[in-house]
């Protein structure tokens, strides 16, 4: 008896187009229900585009001292004016914004990575391991973080760069993520699917990576944005005290030099106002993004479609 092969026809283009249209409509509907996520992501994306596309229109070398006349107000040639160092402040903003974002993302990523590791180990292992890690985290949280950062930054002030600043901030950015991740793991480790994974022969590391971690990805995304916000605020605070990278035009260092040269008292508003506005937009965008991601991560905040 001859084999008979049956070929199923491919779905018509109209059906596939309908599915794609339905998916797009679902995404748009969710964006309407979660405007914080859309607005926050748009603000952060706009700032990232300034750093990426800005050098195409503004020469980054103009951010160096003595590249322009000093203390010039905004004009057609210098849209944001110049400072007492003879720097084009538009070039300073275009150059400094990516540096500030680099500090925030690098410190936030390192802090979340260490905090997530400690939180998963403490929450899943329990017992003496959990007691040691919990004691370490709780003890470190009782010490004012800004005081520790000032002490560290002041001791290495002459050697600080953008990357070292990120490492200094990351040295404390792990504390809160480790505590919150541990609390989440404690609520998941006795769930049925985790018990089933144990009985199937999976070890602790496999259960953490394959079972627990995927369920906490939305929560970790929100935690990452929060860690970036903490890192940026910490860097701005240290830099405003003069403890940042002295030769890099980050937003915080721009504010520091403006204060150091009494720009607010002299009426040089174009020196200190743009970096402050950029910081406000950045922090507000991260806050809205955190709120939007928290609605995805927290079942109690989700709204039905």
Whether residue 257 lies inside any domain: the answer is yes
- Token representation of residue 236: 């701005």
DSSP characters over 117-179:
HHHHHHHHH-HHHHHHHHHHHHHHHTS-HHHHHHHHHHHTGGG--HHHHHHHHHHHHTHHHHH
* Domain of residue 282, CATH code: 1.10.3720.10
Q: Is the pLDDT of residue 91 over 90?
A: yes
| Structure confidence by residue, pLDDT tens digits, 171-185 | 989 999 999 999 999
Q: How many domains does the chain have?
A: 1
Whether residue 286 lies inside any domain: the answer is yes
Whether residue 138 lies inside any domain: the answer is yes
- Token representation of residue 100: 């500030």
Confidence band (pLDDT; 50, 70, 90) for 5? low
Whether residue 235 lies inside any domain: the answer is yes
Count CB atoms within 10 A of the CB of residue 160.
23
- Token representation of residue 36: 């914080």
Kind and range of the H or E element at 282? Answer: helix 269-297
DSSP class of residue 189 equals T
Q: Across residues 247-252, what is the average pLDDT?
A: 91
| Structure confidence by residue, pLDDT tens digits, 119-167 | 999 998 888 999 999 999 988 888 888 788 888 888 887 778 899 999 9
- Cα-based distances in Å from 257 to 140, 189, 250: 32, 51, 11
Q: Is the pLDDT of residue 1 over 60?
A: no
Q: Is the pLDDT of residue 305 over 50?
A: no
How many angstroms from the chain centroid is the CA of residue 268?
31
Positive/negative CA dihedral, 123, 124, 129, 133: negative
Q: How far apart are the first and last CA of the chain?
A: 54
Whether residue 157 lies inside any domain: the answer is yes
In 3D, which of 281, 236, 278, 282 has the Cα closest to residue 259?
A: 236
For tokens 């107000």, what's the residue?
73
pLDDT of 304 reads: 45
Residue count of the chain, please give it.
Answer: 305
Whether residue 34 lies inside any domain: the answer is no
CB 280 within 8 A of CB 126: no
The boundaries of the domain holding residue 289 are 46-60+81-301
CB 47 within 8 A of CB 281: yes
Whether residue 121 lies inside any domain: the answer is yes
8 or 262, greater pLDDT: 262
Whether residue 169 lies inside any domain: the answer is yes
- Cα-based distances in Å from 301 to 6, 291, 294: 49, 10, 8
């Amino acid at each position: 008896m001859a084999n008979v092969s049956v070929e199923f026809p491919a779905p018509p283009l109209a059906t596939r187009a309908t599915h794609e249209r339905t998916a797009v409509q679902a995404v748009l509907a969710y964006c309407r229900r979660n405007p914080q996520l859309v607005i926050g992501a748009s603000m952060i994306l706009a700032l990232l585009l300034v750093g990426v596309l800005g050098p195409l229109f503004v020469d980054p070398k103009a951010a160096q001292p003595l590249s322009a006349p000093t203390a010039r107000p905004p004009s057609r040639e210098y849209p944001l004016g110049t400072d007492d160092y003879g720097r084009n402040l538009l070039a300073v903003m275009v150059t400094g914004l990516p540096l500030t974002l680099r500090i925030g993302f690098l410190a936030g990523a390192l802090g979340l990575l260490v905090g997530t590791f400690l939180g998963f180990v403490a929450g899943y292992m329990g017992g003496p391991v959990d007691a040691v890690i919990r004691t370490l985290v709780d003890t470190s949280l009782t010490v004012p973080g800004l005081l520790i950062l000032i002490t560290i930054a002041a001791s290495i002030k002459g050697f600080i760069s953008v990357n070292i600043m990120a490492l200094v901030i990351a040295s404390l950015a792990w504390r809160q993520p480790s505590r919150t991740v541990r609390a989440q793991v404690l609520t998941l480790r006795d769930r049925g699917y985790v018990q089933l994974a144990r009985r199937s022969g999976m070890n602790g590391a496999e259960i953490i990576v394959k079972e627990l971690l995927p369920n906490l990805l939305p929560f970790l995304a929100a935690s990452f944005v929060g860690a970036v916000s903490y890192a940026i605020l910490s860097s701005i605070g240290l830099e405003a005290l003069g403890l940042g990278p002295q030769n890099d035009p980050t937003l915080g260092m721009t504010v520091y030099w403006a204060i150091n040269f009494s720009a607010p008292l002299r009426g040089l508003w174009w020196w200190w106002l743009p970096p402050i506005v950029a910081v406000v937009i950045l922090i507000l965008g991260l806050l809205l993004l955190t709120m939007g991601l928290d609605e995805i991560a927290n079942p109690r905040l989700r709204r039905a479609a």
